[in-house]
């Protein structure tokens, strides 16, 4: 299946997207959970999950989401500490 314009096939397109995913080239958002950092592409997140599409369309929602992630990370760290003390 040829694409118009640059002549890339569908498989070329898939390979290029896989390359972005595996190398994290042009990643434009980071999620920090506890001490771990996860990089991602907003475009892919928004395309694959309506939650992220809505989230990235509102600055207020993004700030709220970041607060929730920080709270969840804090809860996870507290739970981990409690388990280690047991």
Q: How many domains is the chain built from?
A: 1
Tell whether 43 is covered by a domain.
yes
> pLDDT-based confidence at 2, cuts 50/70/90?
very low
CB contact set of 3 (below 8 Å; sequence gap of 6+): 9, 10, 13
Q: Output the pLDDT for position 15.
A: 92
Instruction: Determine the structural domain holding residue 24 and report its residue range.
Output: 10-85
Q: Is the dihedral of CA 33, 36, 41, 47 positive or negative?
A: negative
> pLDDT for 8-49, tens place per residue?
889 998 999 889 888 888 898 888 777 788 888 888 889 999
CB atoms within 10 A of CB 57: 10
Q: What percent of the chain stands above pLDDT 70?
A: 63
Lowest mean pLDDT among 46-50, 51-55, 77-81: 77-81
> pLDDT-based confidence at 63, cuts 50/70/90?
low
Strand locations in 10-79 (E):
29-33, 36-40
Tell whether 79 is covered by a domain.
yes
Q: Output the pLDDT for position 86.
A: 53
Tell whether 3 is covered by a domain.
no
Tell whether 5 is covered by a domain.
no
Strand locations in 1-86 (E):
29-33, 36-40
Tell whether 1 is covered by a domain.
no
């Amino acid at each position: 299946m040829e694409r118009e314009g640059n002549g890339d096939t569908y498989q070329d397109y898939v390979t290029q997207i896989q390359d972005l995913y595996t190398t994290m080239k042009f990643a434009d958002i980071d999620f920090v959970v506890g001490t771990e950092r996860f990089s991602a592409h907003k475009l892919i997140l928004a395309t694959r999950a309506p939650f992220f599409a809505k989230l990235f369309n509102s600055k207020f929602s993004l700030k709220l989401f970041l607060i929730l992630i920080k709270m969840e990370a804090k809860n996870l760290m507290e739970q981990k500490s409690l388990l280690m003390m047991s």
